[in-house]
Amino acid sequence: MAEEVPSTDIITLTRHVLNDQLRLGSAATGDLTLLLTAIQVTSKFIATNVRKARLINLIGMAGETNVQGEDQKKLDVLSNDIMVNALRASGKTAVLVSEELEDAIIIEEKQRGKYCVVFDPLDGSSNIDAGVNIGTIFGIYRVQGDSTGSVEDVLRPGSEMVAAGYTMYGSSANLVMSTGSGVNGYTLDASLGEFILTHPNITIPKRGKIYSFNEGNSMYFHPPVVNYLKSIKYPSPPKTPYSARYIGSMVADVHRTLLYGGIFGYPDDKKSKSGKLRLLYEAFPMAFLTEQAGGVATTGTKRILDILPTQIHERCPVFLGSKDDVNDLLKFYSDSA
């Protein structure tokens, strides 16, 4: 059999996003395309640093604590700086919110654009030193009306985001994104320096066989979560138990959930009243992608994307994944109400 000739017509992320823009015609100004281009460049830049981290002394602590009281790693700080610099220079942003910065950055007039970007520059810090998958998460809002940029522009429900995505730095760098009409995944071809469309139209299986929780916190979990986990670990025959997979990098756990299905959860519990994950730059973008891929994202009592934030660093409980799996969990919540 003849060997297959490599394709000469590859779809890069830029080409794909531009196509979208052309489809929208005059409604699209191209600003969002340019912003997304700036974001993909930051992902390439962070990816190369993640690859070299062990060799260029980028492993370990930066010596500072962020507003969440977490010790910052050198890669947290570097990734944050990369993103702030690129997003400001893009000329397309008005407000930036980062996990690593206490206050929102309001972009000065001469570089100001119409979009607000909320981001977790480096997700999965605890996995950096072991070389386990980490990532970057982002969500994009448009400023309200003719606002010149204020924190109110991002204290908006996640359903108002115009785009959201993440890049996972793993065996390859994968950028997964939605502009509100489905979810697409791109893989970085390092030799080309381009993200190539490899996962068009990602849809979460209706039901999965995997659950992904930090069960080390079980003694703090509330009854609906305890009982749900029990139901999938000790099912009545002929059902068989679910498999456990928990990486501890939200990006990697959500990536697997989007592709394989199942449920990812970081509940609120007796110790962490609002859970651990941050609403604006962790829960919202991942909930946006999950819904766009046909799944469900909830706090256990309400749809995540409907929450109206009051503070940029607030936290919220997160359960997301396959429709049937998340709905099973929700039954335990409604039964306990």
Q: Does 123 bind Mn ion (CB under 5 A)?
A: yes
Cβ burial, residue 64 (10 Å; 0-12/13-18/19+): exposed
CA angle at 34 for the pair 140 and 116, rounded to the nearest 5°: 25
CA angle at 42 for the pair 123 and 58, rounded to the nearest 5°: 60
- Residue closer to ligand AHG (CB basis): 153 or 269: 269
Stretch that binds Mn ion, among 29-37, 121-129, 217-225, 254-262 (CB under 5 A): 121-129
What CA–CA distance (Å, rounded) separates 87 from 82?
9
What DSSP state is assigned to residue 285? H
Shortest distance, position 296 Cβ to ligand AHG, whole Å: 18
Among 99, 194, 269, 291, binds Mn ion (CB under 5 A): 99
Do 98 and 281 contact (CB within 8 A), yes or no?
A: yes
Q: What SS3 state is found at 12?
A: strand
184 binds, among ligand AHG, Mn ion, none (CB under 5 to 8 A by kind): none
- Residue closer to ligand AHG (CB basis): 124 or 295: 124
Shortest distance, position 236 Cβ to ligand AHG, whole Å: 30
Q: Does 70 bind Mn ion (CB under 5 A)?
A: yes
Q: Does 215 bind Mn ion (CB under 5 A)?
A: no
Q: What is the β-pairing status of strands 163-169 and 173-178?
A: antiparallel
100 binds, among ligand AHG, Mn ion, none (CB under 5 to 8 A by kind): none
What CA–CA distance (Å, rounded) separates 155 from 239?
43
Q: Does 120 bind Mn ion (CB under 5 A)?
A: yes
Shortest distance, position 100 Cβ to ligand AHG, whole Å: 9
Indicate the residue whose CB is closest to Mn ion.
123
Binding footprint of ligand AHG on the chain (CB under 6 A): 70, 99, 120, 123-126, 214, 248-250, 266, 276
294 binds, among ligand AHG, Mn ion, none (CB under 5 to 8 A by kind): none
Size, binding site for Mn ion by CB under 5 A: 6
The amino acid at residue 185 is: G
Query: Measured over all CA atoms, what is the biggest interatomic distance in the chain, rounded to whole angstroms?
Result: 65
Residue of 127, 119, 124, 143 lying closest to 135 (CA atoms) = 124
214 binds, among Mn ion, ligand AHG, none (CB under 5 to 8 A by kind): ligand AHG
Q: Does 325 bind Mn ion (CB under 5 A)?
A: no
Shortest distance, position 75 Cβ to ligand AHG, whole Å: 10
114 φ/ψ angles, rounded to the nearest 5 degrees:
-105, 0
Dihedral-angle region of residue 131 (phi above 0 means left; psi in -120 to 50 means alpha; beta otherwise):
left
Which residues of the chain form contacts with Mn ion (CB under 5 A)? 70, 99, 120, 122-123, 125
